[in-house]
Amino acid sequence: MVAEGTSSPPLFWTLLGTIVALCLLGLVFVLSASAVRADRRFDSSWYWFQRQGVFLGLGMVMLMIGLCVPYRTWIRLAGPILGVTTLMLVVVLIPSSISHEVNGSRRWIGPELAQFQPSELAKLAMILWLARLLSRRMDQIRDVGATIVPAGMVLATLALLIYLEPDLGTAVLLVAITFAMLTVAGARVDVLMLAAIPVAVIGVVLAFSDYRWARMMAFVDPWKQETTAGWQVIQSRVGIASGGVFGVGLGNGRSKWGFLPEAHTDFIYSVIGEELGLIGCLAVLAAFLLFIVAGITAGRRARDTSGMLIAIGISTWVGLQALVNIGVAIGVLPNKGLTLPFVSYGGSSLTLTLFAAGILLNVARNPAVRPPMRTRRVQR
């Protein structure tokens, strides 16, 4: 199967160029941020860089699959994809030879050399399934029982399983994506606002429970825990501040020399800030803003409601995750353990995000020949 369009509009190339630029930037900074630690641990400065190169190659294959297969095919497969994802989220919680625990979290499944995080697939599975549900029930979009209730039941199931790993950050992100798609589709805002109250209360309670209490206190005043929970936040701020306007130069950062834990994953933005300075930070922000605007525009120009909702869901996913990661790095949000899309090290994150980007590119490549979906949808 091939993409439906015979030619690609400028919006398609804007999205593709932004994705490629972010991936290449990530590859460079994974090497810069991980070389010292990799040399100490594996006697090879190239260890994580080479693995990221493999992940990027696989991710580009996934992007091409998402691009070349019409997005309506993924809509038709949304049910089975959601079912398989839910099964994997259950399996990963059960101690076995194929589920793996790392640093107290059960998020990985599969053989040692090909571990996979089902929670990453859950984001895309939810987007596809919700787009399928809402596009088929647009004539019932104001009917709470036909839209919000089933969406809430599926969301609650996935979010609970992900939270039990535990991974509160991804669970919260999944909630935000669902609310955004329901709002754009035209579901009752008053009901969504009422539903948001207990969801917010639960989120706050969970955020201040167990080990997360230390994270929240480190966020409020990291200097009171400068040698424990506040260490990452402090070192991240120091690294960014050291970069100034133009940075200390590519490869010359000091924070990665054992001062900043997880420099090549959760805190890669700090390394970018230190080595490329304010200019580099703003360039990354501009790239994500361009991705979000282009993605939403692709949704407005989509051929049908399902394409519009897919574009909105994926744009919300990438935009919010980037916002949270950057917010954590600069110290305005508590640590949630979310990677910087397309940039941070990580096989599951990179390959699944590129797959989703491929589906978004398919939507952008096949715009409507009639007025945008938002204009047409008012006629329902």
Supply 138's token pair.
Answer: 């647009």
Predicted confidence (pLDDT) at residue 380 exceeds the cutoff of 90: no
How would you class 10 by CB atoms within 10 Å of its CB: exposed for 0-12, middle for 13-18, buried for 19 or more?
exposed
Q: List the one residue out of 276, 248, 269 whose CA is nearest residue 339.
A: 269
- What is the structure's pLDDT at 373? 45
- Name 199's Cβ contacts closer than 8 Å, sequence gap at least 6: 175
User: Which strand (E) or helix (H) includes residue 106?
Assistant: strand 105-109
- What is the structure's pLDDT at 113? 65
Helix intervals (H) in the chain: 10-42, 47-68, 71-76, 78-91, 118-136, 148-163, 168-185, 189-207, 212-220, 231-243, 268-300, 305-330, 347-365, 373-377
Confidence of residue 8 (pLDDT cuts 50, 70, 90): confident
- What is the structure's pLDDT at 375? 41
Predicted confidence (pLDDT) at residue 378 exceeds the cutoff of 50: no
Specify whether the CB–CB gap between 345 and 48 falls below 8 A.
Answer: yes
Whether the upstream peptide bond of residue 166 has omega within 30° of 0, thus cis, is: yes
Predicted confidence (pLDDT) at residue 144 exceeds the cutoff of 90: yes
Cα separation, 67 vs 65, whole angstroms: 5
Say what angle helices 148-163 and 118-136 make with each other, to 10 degrees. 180
Q: What are the backbone dihedrals phi and psi of residue 203, each rounded to the nearest 5 degrees, phi first?
A: -60, -40
- What is the structure's pLDDT at 130? 98
- What is the structure's pLDDT at 221? 73
Q: What is the mean pLDDT of residues 131-154?
A: 96
Q: 85-122, pLDDT tens digit by residue?
A: 999 999 999 987 788 777 667 888 877 667 889 999 99
pTM recorded for the entire structure: 0.92
Specify whether the CB–CB gap between 135 and 304 falls below 8 A.
Answer: yes
Q: 199-217, pLDDT tens digit by residue?
A: 988 887 887 776 667 677 7
Percent of the chain with pLDDT over 70: 92
- What is the structure's pLDDT at 369? 65
- What is the structure's pLDDT at 282? 97
Cα separation, 231 vs 248, whole angstroms: 22
- What is the structure's pLDDT at 372? 46
Q: 151-197, pLDDT tens digit by residue?
A: 999 999 999 999 999 898 999 999 999 999 999 999 999 999 999 99
Q: What is the mean pLDDT of residues 225-251?
A: 87
Supply 103's token pair.
Answer: 């640093």
Q: What is the mean pLDDT of residues 248-265?
A: 88
Average pLDDT, the chain: 89
Q: List the one residue out of 49, 50, 51, 53 whose CA is nearest residue 33.
A: 49
Say what angle helices 189-207 and 148-163 make with each other, to 10 degrees. 10
- What is the structure's pLDDT at 104? 67
Cα separation, 63 vs 61, whole angstroms: 5
Q: List the one residue out of 130, 162, 164, 160 whose CA is nearest residue 147.
A: 130
Cα separation, 251 vs 272, whole angstroms: 10
Cα separation, 283 vs 289, whole angstroms: 10
247: left (phi over 0), alpha (psi -120 to 50) or beta: left
Q: What is the mean pLDDT of residues 294-311?
A: 96
- What is the structure's pLDDT at 116? 85
Q: 19-68, pLDDT tens digit by residue?
A: 999 999 999 999 999 998 999 899 999 999 999 999 999 999 999 999 99
Least confident of 29-38, 123-132, 197-206, 324-333: 197-206
Rounded to a whole number, what is the largest CA-CA distance in the chain? 64
Predicted confidence (pLDDT) at residue 124 exceeds the cutoff of 90: yes
Cα separation, 184 vs 80, whole angstroms: 25
Confidence of residue 150 (pLDDT cuts 50, 70, 90): very high
